Amino acid sequence: MKYIVKYQENNKIKTKYLSEKQYLNKELPKNIISIKKSFDFFNIFKSKQKIYNRVLIDILYELNLMLEANILFDEAFDILINSASNEQISQFLKSLKYSFSNHINISDKLKEFAFDSFIITLFKIIQDSGNPKKHINILYEILKEEEELKRSIKKVFAYPLILVVSFIFALIGIFNYVVPKFESMFLQNDIKITLATKSLFFIKSLFEQYFFLLISLVILIVFLIVTIYKRNEKLRYFLDKKLFLSLPLISQIYRYRILYRFFYLVHSLLLSRYEFNETINKCKTLINNKYFLDRITRIDSSLKSGKSIYQSFKKANIFDEVVLNIIKTAEISNSLEKTSYEIRTIYKKRFNEKVEIFSIFIEPIFFILIMALIVWLILAIFVPLWSIGDILRT
């Protein structure tokens, strides 16, 4: 990225081109008239610089420690920039520092870096607060909690994923190397084959003739669904609603994770002395699920129309009686900070319970599938082989 700087010198208008590095280091001329980004055709094909969550958490941890030690905000960033392990992280820190120090929209400044939009929105909330030093710790805690949640989900899904991949490779090996040999043997000896054997040979022929076509078709369907999902608001709302409410066990895991994140954010913002209405409004910007966003928007509208917190949450029709009673108690006792923490704890506990149940059920399901495959192969291959043995004995 380059910048075009127009400035006045010796009563003349001059133009200067600055690199991203020069711009961030404030290597600017005097008497600036305007600064514009220059269009670079090759930037269209340039991939964004990936900033991993783990790296970002480490950066925020160090920054938070320095700020708690009463090091000035800009000085803390300078220390991090000088100790950055590579140029990419250094550029990211410079962009971050420049946005905070000059009150420039952080979303625009971080466009060249690739990370979750959830994180950019959190940075934007911190920037808009007017006191980023105070809120860096909250951002660090939120991202650390998010990383732990992702790790727990990955841990549960890693084993089933390995089983699925192994299952697919086993099928490919069977249809490519095992089945063709037995098929030629059975056809040469004119052996009477069973229904299981016929179905095996039929699937094998489909696999040989249409494997790449089927793979291409699956990829095309997935691509179309993702494209339509992003562009069609009604379809996105419908699918998000099904994911939030209708899928057995999966929806519960997904729903409790979203609700836990929501109340974690509510609790964090309330601790930062935001008003409850403002907290709900800011949390809306961090929600990706369209159905859940619609429910929270209804809560926000009800609060703005003068209804109580309890009535607004009850009207959303996604919270159970236990949570609603806690909210009602919090409203009466004016203890929303404390109760938001209790609600987030409830949802975290429910999330962990459902994840554990999923991990308990998923293993037997895959073992049943593998056993079914083995039984099918026995019926399809070994039963005709036993008939050959009977023929030889007679």
Within 10 A of 38 (CB to CB), how many other CB atoms are there? 11
Percent of the chain past pLDDT 90, that is, above it, reads: 18
Provide the sign of the torsion angle of the four alpha carbons 108, 109, 113, 116, taken in this order. Answer: negative
Q: What is the pTM of this model?
A: 0.72
What's the whole-number average pLDDT of the chain?
82
Q: Give yes or no for residue 250 having a pLDDT over 80.
A: yes
Extract the tokens encoding 3: 């910048």
Q: Which residue has the tokens 């108690």?
A: 329
Q: How many residues does the chain have?
A: 394
Q: Which residue has the tokens 């399809």?
A: 380
- Average confidence (pLDDT) over 71-78: 86
Element (H, E) at 15: strand 12-19
What is the pLDDT confidence band of residue 394, given thresholds at 50, 70 and 90?
A: low
What is the rounded CA–CA span in Å between residue 195 and residue 198? Answer: 5
What is the pLDDT confidence band of residue 343, given thresholds at 50, 70 and 90?
A: very high
Helix axes 53-68, 132-173, angle to 10 degrees: 160
Q: Give yes or no for residue 222 having a pLDDT over 80.
A: yes
- Average confidence (pLDDT) over 121-149: 80
> Higher model confidence: residue 389 or residue 202?
202
- Average confidence (pLDDT) over 282-305: 90
| The most confident of 106-120, 198-212, 341-355, 379-393, by mean pLDDT | 341-355
Q: Which residue has the tokens 């340039």?
A: 46
Q: Give yes or no for residue 30 having a pLDDT over 50.
A: yes
Alpha carbon separation from 378 to 18, 174, 365, 367, 372 (Å, rounded) = 72, 13, 20, 16, 10
Q: What is the pLDDT of residue 126?
A: 79
Q: Which of 167, 207, 169, 204 is CA-nearest to residue 183?
A: 204
Q: What is the pLDDT of residue 350?
A: 94
Q: What is the pLDDT of residue 390?
A: 58
Q: Are 313 and 303 in contact (CB under 8 A)?
A: no
Q: What is the pLDDT of residue 23?
A: 65
Q: What is the pLDDT of residue 259?
A: 93
3-class SS of residue 113: strand
3-class SS of residue 103: coil
Q: Are 266 and 279 in contact (CB under 8 A)?
A: yes
Q: Give yes or no for residue 123 having a pLDDT over 90.
A: no
Q: Give yes or no for residue 140 having a pLDDT over 80.
A: yes
Within 10 A of 345 (CB to CB), how many other CB atoms are there? 14
Q: What is the pLDDT of residue 42?
A: 46
What is the pLDDT confidence band of residue 312, given thresholds at 50, 70 and 90?
A: very high
- Average confidence (pLDDT) over 287-291: 90
Q: Give yes or no for residue 288 having a pLDDT over 90.
A: no
Q: What is the pLDDT of residue 189?
A: 67
- Average confidence (pLDDT) over 315-328: 92
Q: Give yes or no for residue 47 having a pLDDT over 70.
A: no
Q: What is the pLDDT of residue 45?
A: 42
- Average confidence (pLDDT) over 339-366: 88
- Judged on CB neighbours under 10 Å (0-12, 13-18, 19+), 144 is middle
Q: Are 115 and 49 in contact (CB under 8 A)?
A: no
Q: 142-145 long-range contacts, Cβ below 8 Å, gap at least 24? A: 142/264, 142/265, 142/268, 143/53, 143/56, 143/57, 143/60, 143/119, 144/57, 145/264
The 10s digit of each residue's pLDDT in 170-180 is: 777 877 777 77
Provide the sign of the torsion angle of the four alpha carbons 315, 319, 321, 325, taken in this order. Answer: negative
Q: What is the pLDDT of residue 392?
A: 55
What is the pLDDT confidence band of residue 361, given thresholds at 50, 70 and 90?
A: confident
Q: What is the pLDDT of residue 388?
A: 64
Strands of the sheet with 32-37, listed across from one edge:
12-19, 2-9, 32-37
The 10s digit of each residue's pLDDT in 10-19 is: 777 778 777 7
- Average confidence (pLDDT) over 314-340: 90
| Strand 49-50 to 12-19 pairing | unpaired
> Higher model confidence: residue 233 or residue 40?
233
Which bin fits 223, alpha (ψ -120 to 50), beta or left (φ > 0)? alpha
| The most confident of 139-143, 164-168, 191-195, 286-290, by mean pLDDT | 286-290
Q: Give yes or no for residue 25 having a pLDDT over 50.
A: yes
What is the pLDDT confidence band of residue 141, given thresholds at 50, 70 and 90?
A: confident
3-class SS of residue 35: strand
